[in-house]
Structure 1
Amino acid sequence: MAGSTLGNIFKITTWGESHGKALGVVVDGCPAGLPLSEEDIQKYLDRRKPGTSAITTQRKEADQVELLSGIFEGKTTGTPISLMVRNTSQISADYTEIAENYRPGHADYCFDAKYGFRDYRGGGRSSGRETIGRVAAGAIAAKILEQMGITVFAYTRSIGPVDADLTKFNRTTARSTITAMPDAEADEKACAYLQQAREACDSVGGCMECLVEGLPAGIGDPVFEKLDANLAKAIMSIGAVKAVEIGDGAEASRHTGSENNDPFRMENGKVTKISNHSGGILGGMSDGSPIIVRAYVKPTPSIFRPQQTVNRSGENTELTIRGRHDPIIVPRAVVVMECMTAITVLDAMMMNMSAKLDSLVEFYR
């Protein structure tokens, strides 16, 4: 299967299926000398693992990571880092019925159209469990960025009609609420809305937002390797994400140039901006302001009510999905967005190291 590798210098390849023996990632291009342990990775995986609250799938997985290579005496060696998480709670019998029937909103039909064959157990390769590898790799990228004073922080912006009030933004709240919202009052409203959806055997969509702070100006490229284009690709590759915005996003199309432009000013010898409608990116390159990325996520397609579909024989039929599914994807996907952003930003920074001749000469002098 093509398309499982991302990155130019900091490169990741994820592998594994939802109901296979294990899932994981190979990270190539990580510099030598980074202190790294399984605990560094685990704290990120714990944020996305299932069975942690009433609004996540009740599939019970420890998602315990194993570092298989690329580490010696607690530090990276510069060689490929292989990480693995074993599956321990598969119930493949829940998916027997969909072996012949295509689930609405899922990739079942597309897999058959492409390959003429598919792993129907839990969605196989297109399952949300594939993101284990992304998160493990992103934890490494985030730790490298921290060494340079760059932070990546994602949270839930909205769930259904419930929006977080960003005037009440609190990072600790975003890491403690089960919705990953940075506003405790919005979290309570969102949980009540989710309960209504569960009682109606339905699911809910929402919006995630990610902030990158500390990134210097000039990271990214002006044509095909634009930072915003690569962020959009990385984040759109997360299952169920249907739209990505940078800064004001779609709202910018309603504004005039005088409203949308961010005036530049000098403060303490540095170029700054009065506003940040651009979301920290101009012409495909970072402008020194915080990068703001937003992702819109569709409702979980697995809902516990009868749905019309067709089977592999081309017959109309009705399907009621069984199994253990998230009523909403967003809270567990927040850390995936954070990690995909970290991977993309780090790769862009590595590529940027050869942008200026004096930087290259100074490094090797």
Structure 2
Amino acid sequence: MSSFGRLFRVTTFGESHCKGVGAIIDGVPPGLELTEADIQPQLTRRRPGQSKLTTPRDEKDTVVIQSGTERGVTLGTPISVFVPNENVRPQDYSEMSNVPRPGHADYTYQMKYGTRASSGGGRASARETIGRVAAGAIAEKWLKQKFDTQIVSWVSSIGHVDMPMPALNISTSTPLFTREDVDRLGTLRILQIPGQTEAEFVKSIDLKAPAYLDTNNVVYNRQGDVLPTPANLQALLTDDLVPVRCPHPPSACAMATVIRECKADADSIGGTVTCVIRNAAVGWGEPCFDKMQAMLAHAMLSLPAVKGFQYGSGFEGTRQRGSTHNDAFCTGSNGRLNVVKNDAGGVLGGITSGADIYFKIAVKAVSTIGQAQDTVDFDGNSTVLEAKGRHDPCVLPRVPPLVESMSSLVLADLAMLQLARENYF
């Protein structure tokens, strides 16, 4: 289905190469100040073409609110948002019309419906998530205004490069980062030796050569080691800004190098994204089937390319004894109980405890790659597929706004269910 939520309900529509994509959002309370300016920042963080390490598809992803507001205020009626597709190139997919891409949904869509969108992956394309991000921005504004709920996610690994856990500071449930920190600290400027090509950089193993400059003007090599500022820094500067969205610059540098290596090989790579939710009120989440973590998992696993979800201590928590893992309670300053630590990830029995909620998702490597792959066509005949078109070597830098938006949709829906219960009783 293309709908999500009950009281705060979202239906997305559109395919990758049709006239446009968008969403219908039902259940937004009346009286909420809302314009396109509230939605556009997250769509801009999600859009393609942000740097030389993403797909070169040039889409501005400018959103238009078509209904549900008047003079910048919500009416309580369904809100329709629309984003046009402007830079479509369906001809790039002509050779794939009879060859399902390995690892992609071409085959399953064809078998399920007996037909499929002939280009771009249709509804299986990540362009479908535009509607989710727009709806999530609306949900997030309501959550922020009513509960001061804050949602921040960032890239925590790409390939073999992991952001160090001490920098996450999750064990004490006091995350160090705001969304602005993620964008600022996780953006790098590429440094390039005059005359050096991108291919030469990828093949180079010179760790003394400056490769990146962070927003604090610290210079790093390709592996993220800090280097002295070179005397010829101005000559090395390029206009290429890379938003990796990992707020630990040394890790971001090593991640950017992995992406550049994969792009040079016409290949792709995956990674993980971590998310922290602050100021979720106590009591959100329904017993048994609609627990908070179950709904978050549902939301995250519905995103394209997501292969795993864990919350709180996750799989690492299985190594601990109960005497260590149990979260002891303490007296809180807000008149309610707090926890000394937070291995439970802010959820007890599927219901929010008031502590920070945190989780991590795994995102696989993009299926569509430029390398020749031995496969078969829909008739079972052997063939070689070498995909053309514009595709990300790594989608991780564009994933945080998706995670934040889907989290917002879950939280808004469960918060409204709890508000309805409290007002009823």
The answer, yes or no, to whether TM exceeds 0.5 is yes
Q: Partner residue of 1:204?
A: 269
Cα distance in 1 between the residues matched to 2:277 and 2:332: 21
Letter in 1 for 2:345: G
Residue 340 (structure 1) aligns with: 406
**Structure 2 residue aligned with 1:155:** 154
The answer (yes or no) to whether the contact 1:51–1:57 under 8 Å persists in 2 is yes
- 2:48 maps to which of 50, 54, 61: 50
Residue matched to 1:103: 101
Aligned to 2:183: 175
Counterpart residue number, 2:258: 193
CA distance in 2, matches of 1:324, 1:166: 34
Q: Tell me whether 1:331 sits opposite 2:339 in the alignment.
A: no
Superposed displacement of residue 199, structure 1: 1.7
In the alignment, structure 1 residue 298 sits paired with structure 2 residue 369: no
Q: Distance in 2 between matches of 1:267 and 1:59?
A: 50
Larger Rg: 2
1:71 maps to which of 64, 69, 73: 69
Question: In the alignment, residue 34 of structure 1 is paired with which amino acid?
Answer: L
Aligned to 1:224: 289
The answer (yes or no) to whether the contact 1:173–1:183 under 8 Å persists in 2 is no
Residue in 1 that maps onto 2:375: 309
Instruction: State the Cα distance separating 1:131 from its structure 2 match.
Output: 0.4
How many residue pairs end up in the alignment? Answer: 357
Aligned partners of 2:110, 2:300: CA distance in 1, in Å? 25
Q: Is the 8 A contact 1:10 1:346 kept in 2?
A: yes
- SS of equivalent residue, structure 1 residue 245: strand
Structure 2 counterpart of 1:127: 125
1:249 to 308, 314, 327: 314
Which shifted more, 59-68 or 146-155? Answer: 146-155
Once structures 1 and 2 are overlaid, which stretch shifts more, 152-161 or 86-95? 152-161
Partner of 2:234: none
Instruction: Describe the superposition over 1:284-318 as per-residue Cα deviations: whole angstroms up to 9, x where unpaired.
Output: 11111100021100011111111122112121211
Q: Cα distance, 1:254 vs. partner?
A: 2.1
| Moved >6 Å (runs of 4+) | none
In 1, distance between residues paired with 2:270 and 2:280? 30
Q: Secondary structure at the match of 1:355?
A: helix
Residues 214-256 of structure 1 show CA distances to partners (whole Å, capped at 9, x for unaligned) of 0121110111111110110011000000000111111222221
Once residues 281 and 64 of structure 2 are traced to their aligned partners in structure 1, the CA distance between those partners, rounded to angstroms, is 34
Give the counterpart of 1:319 among 374, 385, 391: 385
- The reply on whether 1:236 has 2:236 as its aligned counterpart is no
Paired residue type of 2:340 = I
What is the CA–CA distance in structure 1 between the aligned matches of 2:320 and 2:387, rounded to whole Å?
A: 44
TM-score (norm 1): 0.95
Structure 2 CA distance for aligned equivalents of residues 159 and 45 of structure 1: 22
Distance of 1:267 and 1:301 partners within structure 2: 48
Over the aligned positions, Cα root-mean-square deviation in angstroms equals 1.2
Cα displacement string for residues 121-172 of structure 1 (whole angstroms, at most 9, x for unaligned residues): 1101110100000000000001001112111111111111112235444433
Q: How far apart are the structure 2 equivalents of 1:270 and 1:353?
A: 19
| SS of alignment partner, residue 421 of structure 2 | coil
Give the counterpart letter for 2:157 in structure 1. S
Distance 1:343 1:138 in 2: 6
- 1:8-23 equivalences under 5 Å are 8-23=6-21
Q: Is the 8 A contact 1:33 1:77 kept in 2?
A: yes
Answer yes or no: is the 8 Å Cα contact 1:166–1:182 preserved in 2. no
Which is further off, 265-274 or 289-298? 265-274
From 132, 136, 139, the equivalent of 1:138 is 136
Question: Which of residues 112, 115, 137 is equivalent to 2:113?
Answer: 115
In structure 2, distance between residues paired with 1:256 and 1:200 = 45
| Letter in structure 2 aligned against 1:153 | V
Gaps of 5+ in 1: none
User: Counterpart of 1:353?
Assistant: 419
Give the Cα–Cα distance (whole angstroms) in 2 for the partners of residues 251 and 55 of structure 1: 32
In structure 2, what is the Cα distance between the partners aligned to 1:131 and 1:30? 19
The separation in 1 between residues aligned to 2:410 and 2:82, in whole angstroms, is 21
| Alpha-carbon distance in 1 for matches of 2:18, 2:266 | 28
Residue 25 of structure 2 is aligned to residue 27 of structure 1: yes
Q: 2:249 aligns to what?
A: 184
**Correspondence for 1:275:** 341
- Partners of 1:130 and 1:99 in 2: how far apart? 20
SS at match of 1:136: helix
Contact 2:152 2:177 in 1 (8 A): no
Which deviates more, 82-91 or 215-224? Answer: 215-224
Identity between Structure 1 and Structure 2 (%) = 40
Partner of 2:214: none
